[in-house]
Amino acid sequence: MSACLLGVDCKYNGENNLNSKVLELLSKETLIPVCPEQLGGCPTPRVPSEIVDGDGADVLDGKARVMTKNGEDVTEYFIRGAREVLKIAQSMGIEKAIMKARSPSCGFCSIYDGTFSGKTKSGNGVTTEILKRNGISVLTEEDV
Ligand code: SF4
């Protein structure tokens, strides 16, 4: 579960994306909060980042980069965070993940387009992509 959806202040601006529908799931399911960007070594708060010229699959394949709004290349942090989340998921036998829609790490099927304008493009975030490649099913808070 993207930690920001459970109210953890791990978002780039030091806030969260608390989601009441996701919170309701806590009474029925065990939810493990993870923030791939923090696990990858990014500070909080941090300059927002987006995937430029591709999606999470391209980042993992070395064909696209993750850049901050200030032009810093943070690709390695995002890949490291994705691998850490996968390690946690595999060690706990996780089969399903609920991830924050449109995030460059957590987005599923749709992510911000790399122009920092709020526009989106098709594709997965880096962590969602690594989870999908390893057989973990993913949905977003909008599907809950
Ligand atoms: Fe939330 Fe994922 Fe962004 Fe962390 S990386 S703040 S969990 S959307």
pLDDT tens by residue, 96-128: 999 999 999 999 999 999 999 999 999 999 999
Ligand 1 midpoint to CA 28 (Å): 23
Probe residue for ligand 1, chosen from 50, 79, 99, 100 as the CB with the greatest number of ligand atoms within 8 Å = 100
Probe residue for ligand 1, chosen from 4, 46, 102, 127 as the CB with the greatest number of ligand atoms within 8 Å = 4
Q: Is the peptide bond before 45 cis (omega within 30 degrees of 0)?
A: yes
User: With contact defined as beta carbons under 8 Å apart, do 52 and 78 qualify?
Assistant: no
Q: Where are the domains of the chain?
A: 3-143
Q: Which of 112, 115, 52, 127 is nearest to 138 (CA)?
A: 127
What integer pLDDT is reported at residue 21 of this predicted model?
A: 95
* Alpha helices per DSSP H over 42-139: 56-60, 75-91, 126-133
Strand partners, 102: 111
- Split at pLDDT 50, 70, 90, the class of 25 is very high
